[in-house]
């Protein structure tokens, strides 16, 4: 039996998913040379078989690498589940990592759940981190966080929707004071077809369509523009200058304000719901303990 370390298997699995040495190193907190050395060591321990085909531009799994990944991923998932459960029994939950785009939605339930979780379990901590505009589910899929705060609908085969954090969040439009629509008391989706609308970034297709439909009820196309924005301050600056129309939800508009940006209700879209979500195939007793507390405060949803 080869003397293979769990560390080597984890490096292999991440590289098989990323197919990029730099991104793999970043996920694991290693150098690219360390990733390469680890893979070569694993290949030697497995009889010298090549697991990856490497060129200057492309990394691909070989047939042997693909077979190993298919058999190894569920086995390592099971082992990690056993180790997490054992750790939970011995020391308590430890850290549960939650990713959120901003603190504008569901913050009341989330804050109360964090306080109760950290009070109930000695040494337990909930660590909040910001998810990027253009990759809101990426940190969850890369297992950089255990849960994400997300807008519904969310219909992804690898993700399970959990407790609801907020409901009935009104749909609104954020625009600059000098924008032609600024004098309106409310707006419809039909109104948006006459103006350039910021394309929803980082959302799944179903969530993007719920945020702003691609066509109006009468069949007119919405003119989306690609305005890449890295943070909320940049977004507010562009809105204040009248460059964009930004469909969003009332909690976001209330949290992020600018004296030259107005918020107008969008009357013909249904309210938005905010919830927690997790990876479907990952079992984590610490995460689930936190989810149970959130669920008890929010009702009626649980991970399903």
Both 157 and 293 in one domain: the answer is yes
Give the model's pLDDT for residue 107. 81
Give the model's pLDDT for residue 56. 73
Structural Rg of the chain based on CA atoms: 23
Give the model's pLDDT for residue 301. 44
Both 43 and 103 in one domain: the answer is no
Both 158 and 178 in one domain: the answer is no
Give the model's pLDDT for residue 28. 86
Which of 64, 89, 114 finishes a domain? 89
Give the model's pLDDT for residue 276. 95
Report if residue 15 sits inside a domain.
yes
Tell if the pTM clears 0.75, that is, is over it: no
Report if residue 71 sits inside a domain.
yes
Give the model's pLDDT for residue 255. 85
Which domain, by its residues, includes 132?
A: 97-164+274-298
Which of 27, 60, 89 finishes a domain? 89
- Total number of domains in the chain: 3
CATH number of domain containing 228: 3.40.190.10
Strand 125-130 with 95-100, pairing: parallel
Instruction: Pick out the chain residues at pLDDT < 70.
Output: 1, 84-85, 87-92, 103-104, 227-230, 299-304
Give the model's pLDDT for residue 90. 60
What are the start-end ranges of the H helices in the chain? Answer: 6-18, 21-28, 32-45, 63-91, 107-120, 138-141, 189-192, 205-211, 232-240, 250-255, 285-298
Report if residue 67 sits inside a domain.
yes
Give the model's pLDDT for residue 1. 58
């Amino acid at each position: 039996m080869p003397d293979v370390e769990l560390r080597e298997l984890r490096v292999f699995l991440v590289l098989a998913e990323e197919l990029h040495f730099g991104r793999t190193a970043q996920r694991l907190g290693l150098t690219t040379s360390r990733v390469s050395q680890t893979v070569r060591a694993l290949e030697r321990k497995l009889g010298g078989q090549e697991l990856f085909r490497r060129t200057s531009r492309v990394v691909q799994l070989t047939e042997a690498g693909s077979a190993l990944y298919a058999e190894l991923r569920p086995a390592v998932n099971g082992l990690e589940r056993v180790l997490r459960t054992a750790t939970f029994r011995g020391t308590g939950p430890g850290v549960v990592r939650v990713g959120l785009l901003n603190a504008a939605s569901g913050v009341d339930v989330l804050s109360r759940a964090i306080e109760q979780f950290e009070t109930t379990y000695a040494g337990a901590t909930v660590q909040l981190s910001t998810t990027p505009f253009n990759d809101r589910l990426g940190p969850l899929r890369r297992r950089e966080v255990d849960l994400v705060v997300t807008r519904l609908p969310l219909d992804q085969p690898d993700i399970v929707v959990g407790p609801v954090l907020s409901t009935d969040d009104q749909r609104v439009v954020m625009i600059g004071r000098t924008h032609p629509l600024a004098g309106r008391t409310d707006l419809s989706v039909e109104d948006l077809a006459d103006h350039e609308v910021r394309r929803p970034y980082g959302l799944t297709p179903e969530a993007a369509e719920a945020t702003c439909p691609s066509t109006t009820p009468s069949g007119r196309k919405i003119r989306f523009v690609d305005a890449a924005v890295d943070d909320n301050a940049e977004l507010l600056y562009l809105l204040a200058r009248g460059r964009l129309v930004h469909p969003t939800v009332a909690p976001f508009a209330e949290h992020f304000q600018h004296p030259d940006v107005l918020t107008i209700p969008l009357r013909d879209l249904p309210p938005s719901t905010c919830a927690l979500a997790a990876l479907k195939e990952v079992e984590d007793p610490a995460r689930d303990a936190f989810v149970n507390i959130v669920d008890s405060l929010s009702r009626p949803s649980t991970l399903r």
